[in-house]
């Protein structure tokens, strides 16, 4: 499902924003202004090199199971990705066409799962094994109604077990300042250790028809410069 123009910003206007000012000078000792229509966040990358001593495998809660998501499950994957991620402005996979998404989900070095329960899909778990020696926890999260239920602890225990079953050198993940405020502490408690920060700048997906204009209300929409 795509969403139309927001605050007078048409799809053509959004394309012009993307073409304009693709690079800007970054002030490493102060503030840097972004063009209107852009969002920015700070990502923290975390890693672990072995299963933590505190790791405890967990059985799936009654009524729940991990179900693989393949290229034949695009509608289900997108619905789950949106349900989990839209409150936090996840948008990367929503930009992909069917062919690209199906090819990724069918890649033997990518594994995606839906945490399915009595009321439908409650969480997403996705691994990327394509870099030799590394396992990236590409996507991890729960739908809003499942947050705080304890399902996250089960899902993380399963993530660690499955990641290291392939014998990688490293298991890593990144979270960012747009994400749930409990995400970073949760990953650290699971045994991940921060090792670097990154700055991500992107078009606001709410302004170019990818995400609902009501998504992530805690992140203000700035469609045009408003200097007063």
pLDDT tens for residues 141-193? 999 999 989 999 999 999 999 999 999 999 999 999 999 999 999 999 999 99
pLDDT recorded at residue 223: 84
**For residue 198, is it within any domain?**
yes
Distance CA 79, CA 31 (A): 37
Residue 73 lies in a domain: yes
- Which of 68, 174, 179, 82 is closest to 126 using CA atoms? 68
Query: CA 212, 202, 99 angle in degrees (round to 5)?
Result: 70
**Counted domains in the chain:** 1
Between 224 and 150, the more confident residue is 150
C-beta of residue 110 within 8 angstroms of C-beta of residue 104: yes
Residue 8 lies in a domain: no
* 189: in domain: yes
21 occurs within a structural domain: no
Burial of 3 (0-12, 13-18, 19+ CB in 10 A): middle
Q: Is residue 19 one of the residues assigned to a domain?
A: no
Reduced to 3 states (helix: H, G, I; strand: E, B; else coil), residue 193 is strand
Instruction: Find the range with the poorest average confidence among 20-24, 57-61, 196-200.
Output: 20-24
Give the model's confidence band at 225: pLDDT under 50 very low, under 70 low, under 90 confident, else very high.
low
The pair of three-digit structure tokens given for residue 34, joined into one six-digit string: 């972004």
Considering the domain boundaries, does residue 61 fall inside one?
yes
- The CATH number of the domain holding residue 155 is 3.40.630.30
In a domain, 170, yes or no: yes
Q: Which pLDDT value is given to residue 126?
A: 98
Which domain range does residue 86 map to?
42-203
């Amino acid at each position: 499902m795509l969403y139309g123009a927001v605050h007078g910003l048409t799809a053509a206007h959004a394309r012009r924003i993307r073409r304009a000012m693709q690079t800007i000078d970054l002030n490493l000792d102060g503030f840097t202004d972004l063009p209107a229509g852009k969002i920015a966040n700070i990502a923290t990358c975390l890693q672990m090199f072995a299963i933590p001593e505190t790791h405890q495998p967990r059985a799936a809660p009654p009524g729940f199971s991990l179900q693989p998501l393949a290229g034949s499950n695009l509608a289900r994957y997108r619905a789950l990705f949106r349900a989990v991620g839209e409150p936090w402005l996840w948008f990367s996979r929503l930009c992909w066409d069917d062919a690209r998404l199906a090819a990724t989900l069918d890649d033997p070095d990518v594994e995606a799962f839906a945490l399915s329960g009595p009321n439908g899909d409650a969480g997403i778990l996705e691994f990327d094994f394509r870099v030799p020696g590394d396992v990236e926890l590409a996507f991890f999260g729960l739908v809003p109604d499942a947050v705080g239920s304890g399902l996250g602890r089960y899902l993380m225990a399963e993530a660690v077990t499955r990641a290291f079953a392939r014998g990688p050198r490293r298991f890593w993940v990144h979270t960012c300042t747009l994400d749930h405020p409990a995400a970073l502490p949760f990953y650290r408690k699971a045994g991940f250790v921060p090792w670097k920060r990154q700055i991500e700048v992107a078009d606001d997906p709410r302004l170019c028809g990818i995400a609902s204009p009501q998504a992530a209300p805690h992140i203000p929409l700035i469609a045009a410069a408003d200097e007063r």
